[in-house]
Amino acid sequence: MAPSNDHRRDTVIDIGKPANFTGGLEFSALTYTVTKKSKNEEGKWFKQEVDLLHKITGFAPKGCITAVMGPSGAGKSTFLDGLAGRIASGSLQGKVSMDGKEMSPSVIKRTSAYIMQDDRLFPTLTVYETFMFAADLRLGPVSVTDKKQRVEKLIQQLGLSSARNTFIGDEGTRGVSGGERRRVSIGVDIIHGPSLLFLDEPTSGLDSTSAHSVIEKVHHIARSGSTVILTIHQPSSRIQLLLDHLIILARGQLMYQGSPKDVAIHLGRMGRKVHKEESPIEYLIDVIQQYDQSELGVEALAEFARTGIKPPFLVDGEVSFATILPTPTPPHHGGYGHHGEGHEDKGRSGKRLPLQTSTHIANDFDHSVRSPYNTNSRSWTPTHSGLMQKMHRFTPSRQPADQKMQSPMSASPGYNYSSEVLPSTPTPHSSDYTVNENDYLTPDIGPNTKSYHHLGPKFANSFFPETWILMRRNFINIRRTPELFLSRLVVLTFMGFLMATMFTNPPRSSQGITNRLSFFIFTVCLFFFSSNDAVPAFIQERFIFVRETAHNAYRASSYTIAGLITFLPFLALQASVYAGIVWFALGLRGPFLYFLVVLYVSLLSTNSFVVFVSSVVPNYILGYAAVIAFTALFFLFCGYFLNSDDIPKGWKWMNHVSTMTYPYEGLIINQYQTNDTFGNNTDGTNITGFNILEGLRINYGKPPHTLSGSKKWEKVFIMLGMTVLYRILFYLVIRFTSKNQRT
């Protein structure tokens, strides 16, 4: 009895490996299901589960470039993320193994590198400095001499010698070319010798020459012993010569797997002939898109890839397939030869003309299909056929129980991955480079290893050396972008002189006291606003942080501490310049040191708060909007407009969380905690400093009218506590939410 289509769809077909398979990455039944909201014909929303990846099984051989291709929306990047452990645990079903040993996502991250589609690098660093910092972070306690030698060799092997001392640059600063930047991105992630290398669209945005140069370098890396898997869209004919293994997807399903040379054979079995001037890979993707746009969808092609049953015809005005073909002869010269006799009509130019509706009934299964990994053919007996049938029922013939179903979609019997064949694969200009496996790879985890759990420490460096490396890099970036802090310093200097001229010699009256209070609140607001440039600071670095920490280059904690320590001297300079200008010009009283400390700690707390906000928001616009909103709220509840005791009980908490409350009250206590007279009441009585504090209902310490029990240092400690709190919150956000992975 023939199994039903539904049963067959749920059955996982094992795709075997060549008999001479020498190791690499294997994956089985990878399935990634998400829940999407859709609208029905009645306009009502409903939830629907969709497979972005559907039971994909296959392998990526070691020492080869495996290219993942397919039309738009095929799931290429999703598939790459699934292999690289970048899909949240529990969301991805299936198994991923390396050299026959199952690997968890965390282990994959420690043994692999992932080069993103966008180049995320520091524009102010040179190529050499970028590689040296990568070596410091990824190689651990290796001597500086060894690191330099490795960096120099890597620069030479990636063809970056002429750009060695060139800045990376960005949109506003001229730097290396696009192809060189892409090679730098690759070099940064392979400097520690990963056994697995994932690349997402490495040729995107590059011209033909630069794209070929990038893939050529990746080809050398693969030949040195790495397992390389990349997604690529419309590779040129020169790039296709560098690809060893091909995986073609559509709608999250496997359409083809095997040698690029055998794509024409695969098409021939479907009843398609490839013209000698046409790329079989592009032709296959065209066929996939034709089915995708029909009622049948790509399921029919996925069924053919799994079982060998020919896809149904496209009828009723849709594109059709030719009928029965004899077994095609093996392709030659990369699979660009003639195969079979049934074909579409072509013009003299060799381009396909619009296909016509077929009225022929073809055999449902190509009996010439043989297992790609052995010479034993599989015989199938279809139970039903018809033009309008979307999926065929079938009954496999009797086979020995120990034989496994094989896929008809892979390499021809003559194609293997043995070490004798790999070096002889054509590589344009390969003689220009000398590739040594030790240049790229750290000691490999061979097949004799019992498990992948003993891989050494998770991070290459301990906490303190790691923090120092990040601090050095931060200082270089700051030194080469002085406008970031100079602009803030210039603003504070200018505003200091402005305050010194506006609020000098206040009258000894209630108005003079009001003027002095206005100076204090303006100073607090000015220092809060001066920290707003911290919003783009982290947002700009966020993608670099995600890329570097995705594979354990350093800890989120060391990044947090390094960022804080780096800014300490610059914030101290800003506070000192402003304090020195206004203190003596306005004749402020109280200890100058306390005045300076309050301004400095105020900068620390507000800077930490803004950095925390920047880690939560996704972009500059929302970041600035959030900071402005909180500035208004903190300003409203800091105690200037309403005394702290007069704020309604429901909003009291806002007074406590406002970062402006404590520097404002601290500056006032420092100024007015004295019995000195600052004016006269209407009745002629003197107004002392303690009278002002009591009138503002500021708790300056008990007993009253004495300096003992002063609470002004308490304000400093609270601001320091806020600094620590916001930095901890910042750490938690980047540690647990700033991850480049799918949920």
Choose one of 243, 274, 307: the last residue of a domain: 307
Last residue within a domain, chosen from 280, 307, 334:
307
| pLDDT reported for residue 367 | 39
Whole-model pTM: value is 0.74
Q: Is 491 a domain residue? A: yes
- DSSP label at residue 33: E
Q: How many other CB atoms sit within 10 Å of the CB of residue 317?
A: 9
> How much of the chain is in helix, strand and coil states, percent to nearest 5?
45, 15, 45
In a domain, 605, yes or no: yes
Give the torsion sign (CA, 264, 270, 275, 277).
Answer: negative
Assigned domain for 708 exists: yes
* Burial class (CB within 10 angstroms; exposed 0-12, middle 13-18, buried 19+) of 368: middle
Q: What torsion, rounded to 10 degrees, do the Cα atoms 129, 131, 133, 134 define?
A: 160
pLDDT of residue 743: 53
Taking the chain (743 residues) in consecutive chunks of 10 residues, what is each chunk's mean pLDDT?
40 50 85 84 81 91 93 89 83 87 84 86 94 92 91 91 92 86 90 88 87 90 90 89 93 92 90 85 90 87 87 60 37 35 36 34 40 34 34 34 39 34 34 36 40 64 93 92 86 93 86 91 92 78 86 90 93 94 90 94 93 88 88 90 87 91 93 85 81 86 52 92 95 83 58
User: Which residues have a Cβ under 8 Å from the Cβ of 456 and sit 6 or more positions away?
Assistant: none
CATH classification at residue 262:
3.40.50.300
Number of domains in the chain: 2
Which residues constitute the domain of residue 115? 24-307
CA pair distance 108, 89, nearest whole angstrom: 13
251 assigned to some structural domain:
yes
CA dist 30 and 95 (Å) reads 7
Angstrom CA distances, 141 to 136, 138, 261, stand at 8, 9, 45
Assign 429 to helix, strand or coil.
coil
| pLDDT for the residue numbered 395 | 30
Report whether the peptide linkage leading into residue 703 is cis, meaning its omega lies within 30 degrees of zero. yes
Asked if residue 599 is part of any domain, the answer here is yes
What's the confidence (pLDDT) of residue 682? 73
pLDDT on residue 455? 58
Q: How much is the pLDDT for 90?
A: 73
The answer as to whether 398 is a domain residue is no
Q: Name the domain boundary from 249, 273, 307.
A: 307
The b-or-e profile of 555-581 (16+ CB within 10 A means b, else e) is bbebbbbbbbebbeebbeebbeebbeb
Strand, helix or coil for residue 271: coil
In a domain, 435, yes or no: no
Strands (DSSP E) found in 234-325 = 245-250, 253-258
Please check whether residue 395 lies inside any domain of the structure.
no
